[in-house]
Amino acid sequence: MGTVLDAATKDANGSLLTDKKVTVVFVLGGPGSGKGTQCANIVEHYGYTHLSAGDLLRAEIKSGSENGTMIQNMIKEGKIVPSEVTIKLLQRAMNESGNDKFLIDGFPRNEENRAAFELVTGMEPTFVLFFDCLEEEMERRLLSRNQGREDDNIETIRKRFRVYMESSLPVIEYYNSKGKVRKIDAAKPVEEVFEAVKEVFTPSNAEVAA
């Protein structure tokens, strides 16, 4: 099975990178697992475009567009933004980037997101980069870096962990069953974690090489 997908025949609306081979890597891990730091390293060393679903939603709200107003209202009402809305924002960002290699960070957040992404785009990730870290270590990191923020209290942090465990782990288990998960021990120092990441992304690795 090829690991780099041809979007030309698979995109549901015919607009996404229609003449390129596209590499998509989902980046998953709990709050405080160091995803953002490592994504920045991957972008710098391997030329990927880093897309954060949360950042795209916030940018759309800030733009004042009709779509952004709808997203903002849904969030205010405590509703979950439909997967298709987030996926369309991801597709647009991929199109506009001019790149053909993407890190999608913090998405899919749950099984429904995952299924919708594959249905709407016709693509699966080349692999899933999973930053595995003990809850105690993530808790320690969040408490040390978020001092003074409203969301740095232990109850809120533990609630975020519970949501992550309940929602994201089924996604990781699904892709693991397909042999697509590359698990990284994220509890180690940043430099050591990136050494492990480099082993996954090295061009000699047939899983990743375009």
Bind-site residues for CMP: 113
Per the annotation, binding residues are: 32-37, 58, 79-81, 106-109, 113, 145, 149, 160, 188
Q: Which residues pair with 29 in a beta bridge?
A: 131
Per the annotation, binding residues for ATP are: 32-37, 145, 188
Per the annotation, binding residues for a ribonucleoside 5'-phosphate are: 58, 79-81, 106-109, 149, 160
Q: Contact, 130 vs 29, CB < 8 A? A: yes
Q: Contact, 104 vs 27, CB < 8 A? A: yes
Residues 70, 176: Cα–Cα separation, whole Å: 35
Q: How many other CB atoms are found less than 10 A from the CB of residue 201? A: 21
Q: Indicate the DSSP class of residue 207.
A: T
Cβ neighbors of 210 (< 8 A, separation 6 or more) are: 4, 21, 23, 100, 101
